[in-house]
Structure 1
Amino acid sequence: MDKYIHKKGFTLIEIMIFMSLCIIVFTVSFTKISGYNKIKNNIAVDETGVSLVNFINNSRERCREEKKQGYIYFNIKENKMGFNIAYICKEDFYFPQGIVLESVNSPGGKIVIDNRGFTSDACTLKFKDNGGKTHKVTICVGTAHVEFKG
């Protein structure tokens, strides 16, 4: 006769090992996801900065080609900016999801571009990313150089 009877079930050590493995898998997964979100945010910021510079430069080029004055206006409530010539909307730029237009320090809330493609005012455009960090796009007076400062 057997003195030992085998009971079905788990021992405390088996449960502890299982819980440890679950915690390790969860920790590794969490760090991978947070790293992915940071990379995704950085890509969105870089893409937005370059797109803003291109939008402003393309608007200047269009004014030169059509030999007409135009302006870029900013709509913070709708999170977009647009380019108009003679009160006709030529192009709109919508900020990507998670990127928020914060402020524009230009007179009248718009950038006026003359028929030669120059702006008479300096301007700084600020936008926030998913992490709340502020990024800037600046336009210099005279040279009309547009620069993204990540």
Structure 2
Amino acid sequence: MNRKVKKGFTLIELMLSVTFFIAVLGIFRFSYAGFNKVFNNVEVINCNNSILSFVNASKQHCRENYTLGRVYFSKKENTIMFYTNMKKLNEYKLPKGFQFTFVNAVNSEININRFGRTSDGCTIKYRDRNNEEQEITISVGTGHVQIK
């Protein structure tokens, strides 16, 4: 018995393999895109809460220590800094991929009086990783900070 050993694949086997590979790749791509969107949304919520907490903690520090303070927004460095008595006490950096786009405060800063009230209102806008604009508003003379 002299049998020939078949070497290689048939066209149908190759087509089935390629089809299976494309299907798996499509599912993976869809899952990855969905994961990135969910991850970005969580980061936006975390960033908004961190900015609000930062501003509120700065106000509380001024109120408790009966001192003047200012919160400075650096668009260049994507950083928020809290200063009191000419000294930087705290700093918050936006997550990687986030970018400040607009801060409508005089000199990009919010002044806080000794009672923990802001003397300047402002709107802060930044872009997230999905290039969507996020907005936070701080009202004048109140303790109210709002996310839009």
One-letter amino acid of the counterpart of residue 21, structure 2: C
Gaps (5+ residues) in structure 1? none
Question: What is the TM-score normalised by the length of structure 1?
Answer: 0.93
Q: Distance in 2 between matches of 1:23 and 1:91?
A: 50
1:140 equivalent in alignment to 2:124: no
Residues 98-137 of structure 1 mapped to structure 2, 5 A cutoff: 98-137=97-136
C-alpha RMSD over aligned residues: 1.5
Question: Number of residue pairs matched?
Answer: 148
Match of 2:21 in 1: 22
Match of 2:56 in 1: 57
Q: Distance in 1 between matches of 2:8 and 2:85?
A: 80
Question: What is the TM-score normalised by the length of structure 2?
Answer: 0.94
Q: Distance in 1 between matches of 2:6 and 2:72?
A: 77
Q: Distance in 1 between matches of 2:6 and 2:132?
A: 59
Q: Runs of 4 or more off by more than 4 Å in structure 1?
A: none
- Worse-superposed segment, 17-26 or 117-126: 117-126
Compute the displacement of 1:5 (Å). 5.2
1:67-118 CA distance string (max 9 Å, x none): 0110001111111010001111110111111111222101121000000011
Q: Distance in 2 between matches of 1:77 and 1:15?
A: 53
Gaps (5+ residues) in structure 2? none
